[in-house]
């Protein structure tokens, strides 16, 4: 009789043990299904390029598809909200641009905290900014641009990827330094802004080099200055802002991967290690042309503190 009573109990215990073992195996085997990588900008800009640059090799490294989804709008807020509403299991991630993650919450009221509400995973890359103007604007240097703006007050406008984006703040910083005024025209990402710049709808913009290089080299746009300490190897004749007379105009941006608050540490480590491994490959380091700075990952212990400290070249 005792054996008959014990048998169901043993079966239940065995089943529970198998279930626990299977659950543990599933957790250890992350990822087991496709991952959504939400991009805070429209196609064609650097944020989108960064996401697509990492998505394919990350898919191969993890053994599951990493699907890029563009969710532009509200200066990165639409993408941020979608990720924050997701389950913190590592299957919904955000590829965010520093301007949206740091500057926008500093100058606008947003419903999320850029540090407390996200799990930082890895910095994918960083880059300086390149100042360009439409081809028929009668200026060929930063000095000439400043003089043109002074001679034609209120005439020039500039495009940005959104209110509070780095392009917005950096151009206003130049306005203040140079004593000029240009009108801000915000877009839902660098891609749409670049389209209108090429069409002559707006006069100038500043953004990372990759989406601009083909148009500068073809003559469709004119590059006036780069906001780094050294010239870009791909554009050696374009002076630095310092050489053009503005030594304090040093601006850089980063593009980073986040999850919602509460992503398990083992998932974060898996993703960070995979991205770091990818960044060591020469094929990744060689592209995309125009970043001119080493692509990198920062481990979470350091990266977690970066957003709170970043502001125009690391100052705030």
Provide the pairing of β-strand 252-260 with 92-97.
antiparallel
pTM comes to 0.68
Give buried/exposed letters for 34-55 (b at 16+ CB in 10 A, else e). ebbbbbbbbbbbbbbbbbbbbb
pLDDT given at position 312: 41
Task: Indicate the pLDDT class of residue 172, thresholds 50, 70 and 90.
Answer: very high
Q: Dump pLDDT digits (tens) for 232-241.
A: 888 999 999 9
Q: Comparing 223 with 6, which gets the higher pLDDT?
A: 223
Q: Comparing 156 with 18, which gets the higher pLDDT?
A: 156
Q: Dump pLDDT digits (tens) for 258-284.
A: 999 999 999 999 999 999 888 877 555
pLDDT given at position 64: 97
Domains of the chain are: 33-127+253-309 (3.40.190.150), 130-226 (3.40.190.10)
């Amino acid at each position: 009789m005792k054996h008959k009573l014990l048998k169901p109990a043993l079966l239940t215990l065995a089943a529970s043990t198998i279930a626990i073992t299977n659950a543990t195996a599933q957790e250890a085997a992350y990822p087991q299904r496709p991952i959504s990588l939400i991009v805070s900008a429209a196609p064609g800009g650097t944020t989108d390029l960064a996401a697509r640059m990492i998505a394919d090799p990350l898919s191969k490294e993890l053994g599951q598809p990493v699907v890029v989804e563009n969710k532009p709008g509200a200066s990165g807020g639409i993408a941020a909200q979608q990720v924050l509403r997701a389950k913190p299991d590592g299957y919904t991630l955000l590829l965010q641009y520093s301007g949206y993650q740091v500057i926008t919450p500093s100058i606008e009221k947003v419903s999320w905290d850029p540090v407390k509400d996200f799990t930082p995973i890895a910095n994918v890359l960083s880059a300086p900014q390149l100042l360009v103007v439409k081809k028929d604007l009668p200026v060929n240097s930063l000095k000439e641009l400043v003089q043109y703006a002074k001679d034609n007050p209120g005439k020039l406008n500039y495009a940005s990827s959104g209110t509070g984006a780095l392009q917005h703040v950096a151009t206003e910083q130049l306005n203040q330094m140079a004593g000029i005024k240009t009108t801000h025209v915000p877009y839902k990402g660098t891609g749409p802004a670049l389209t209108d710049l090429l069409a002559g709808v707006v006069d100038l913009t500043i953004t990372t080099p990759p989406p601009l290089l083909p148009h500068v080299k073809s003559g469709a746009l004119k590059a006036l200055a780069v906001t780094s300490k050294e010239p870009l190897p791909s554009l050696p004749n374009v002076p630095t802002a310092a050489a053009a007379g503005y030594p304090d105009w040093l601006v850089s941006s980063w593009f980073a991967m986040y999850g919602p608050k509460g992503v398990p540490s083992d998932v974060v480590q898996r993703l960070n290690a995979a991205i770091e491994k990818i960044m060591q490959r020469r094929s990744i380091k060689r592209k995309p042309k125009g970043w001119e700075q080493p692509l990198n990952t920062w481990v979470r212990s350091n990266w977690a503190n970066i957003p709170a400290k970043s502001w125009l070249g690391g100052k705030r």
